[in-house]
Amino acid sequence: MYYDNNTVIYFNGNFVKAAEAKTDLYGQSLHYGYAVFEGIKSYHTENGTKIFKPKEHYDRLRKSAETMHIPFNYTTEQLTELSYELLKINNFSNAYLRPLLICSPNMGLSKGQESYLAIEAWEWSNGYLANKMRIMTSSYERPNPKAFHVEAKVSGHYVNSILACQEAKDKGYDEALVLDSNGYVAESSGANVFYEKEGALYTPAKGSILPGITRATVFDICKELDIPVYEKFFTPNEMRGADAAFFCGTAAEVVALESLDDVAFTKDWDNSVSSLIQNAYRNLVVGKNLEEFKLQLR
Ligand code: PMP
């Protein structure tokens, strides 16, 4: 359950009870998936509750809204402040925040005239990370970048994610690896992907992916720790049997992959560069620096 009778959300200018908030049934967002959203995490740190990269997330929300012609009237500073206030009201520290921008009633196919912003939040402890994931190459492709603005975080895109994720689950896997329309690896249903070979990391180049904020953070970690990392287009065949691989995203953080299409990644996870990235990311989100990892690499 995401909320109870006491949970408060931000909705269109007010803090209101989640259980009492209402929207209409005549909106383009509900009917056509014409809405944009974000997924943000906050963490309990030595310096209190800290939202990880709020500027990057709220800048992306604005960009997604602009790309989709949905009116958006908030500054990133306002949204960050509202988010901290929401966490405080609900007494949340380790939490997931879900800002969602929806449109006013309109059954037509012209752009949204008015929009409403909701920010929902729920407590999140890291259960997701416990196991290594077995993944399969999806029979679904990611949305064609000539049909959708794939770099925007648009609700409707996630119908594709649901199909891919459910197909993988129905076949006994944990997640899907979804390709682009040229047969190159793109991403999973809700996270970016990296694989490791001989100490270097590889990730799909931009074009058919949502270029994640976590993906950018992995690049920053690699730069700081002097780990070679490359963007390129590659097939699942190139990735199968690599030394190690991981998914990364705000919700997933950095999650180890066990196998792709039943072909195991070969290196012991704990001795991989990928595992170092996973641990470094866990440090960064709680405001710690990466000095201990630099020492490990010497
Ligand atoms: N790709 C998709 C399709 C996603 O839904 C997400 C999660 N937002 C990501 C990648 C990772 O993005 P981020 O690191 O910004 O959460």
Ligand 1 centroid to Cα of residue 252, in Å, is 9
CATH assignment of 133-297, among 3.40.50.300, 3.30.413.10, 3.30.465.10, 3.20.10.10: 3.20.10.10
Q: What is the pLDDT of residues 186-212, one digit of tens each?
A: 999 999 999 999 999 999 999 999 999
What's domain 8-123's architecture?
2-Layer Sandwich (3.30)
The whole-number average pLDDT for the span 141-149 is 97
Query: For the residues 164-169, what does the mean pLDDT come to?
Result: 98
Q: Which residue, among 148, 241, 153, 242, has the nearest Cα to 192 in the 3D structure? A: 153
- With a 6 A CB cut-off, is 90 part of the ligand 1 pocket? no
Tell me the mean pLDDT in the region 131-151: 96
pLDDT of residue 131: 81
What pLDDT was estimated at residue 112? 86
At residue 297 the predicted structure's pLDDT band, cuts being 50, 70 and 90, is: confident
CA 212–ligand 1 middle distance (angstroms): 5
37-to-40, 127, 171, 278, 289 alpha-carbon distances in Å: 10, 23, 29, 26, 30
What percentage of the chain carries pLDDT values higher than 70?
Answer: 98
- The pLDDT of 278-287, averaged and rounded, is 96
At residue 1, the pLDDT reads: 87
* 83 CB near ligand 1 (under 6 Å): no
> What is the predicted pLDDT for the residue at 271?
96
pLDDT in the model for residue 129? 57
Which part of the chain is CATH 3.20.10.10?
133-297
Q: What would the mean pLDDT of 228-237 be, rounded to a whole number?
A: 98
CB of 192 within 6 A of ligand 1: the answer is yes
Residue intervals in the chain for CATH 3.30.470.10:
8-123
Q: How confident is the model at residue 226 (pLDDT cuts 50, 70, 90)?
A: very high
Nearest CA to ligand 1 atom 10: 191
Q: What is the pLDDT of residues 38-73, one digit of tens each?
A: 999 999 999 999 999 999 999 999 999 999 999 999
Query: In the chain, where do the E strands start and end?
Result: 8-11, 14-17, 36-37, 40-45, 48-51, 95-103, 115-123, 133-141, 175-179, 185-187, 192-197, 200-204, 229-232, 244-249, 253-260, 263-264
- For atom 13 of ligand 1, the residue with the nearest CA is 212
Q: Each residue of 104-125: pLDDT tens digit? A: 999 999 998 999 999 999 999 7
- Residue reference for tokens 């620096």: 289
Would the pTM count as exceeding 0.85? yes
The candidate with the shortest Cα–Cα distance to 210, out of 139, 154, 282, is 154
Determine the pLDDT at residue 72: 97
Do the beta carbons of residue 295 and residue 283 sit within 8 Å? Answer: no
If one residue of 194, 214, 281 were mutated to test the ligand 1 pocket, choosing by the most ligand atoms within 8 A of its CB, it would be 214
Nearest CA to ligand 1 atom 1: 191
Whether 212 is in the pocket of ligand 1, judged by its Cβ within 6 Å, is: yes
Pocket lining: 191 vs ligand 1, CB cutoff 6 Å: yes
What is the atom index within ligand 1 of the atom nearest the CA of 56?
15
Residue 93 has pLDDT above 70, yes or no: yes
Per-residue pLDDT tens for 172-182?
999 999 999 99
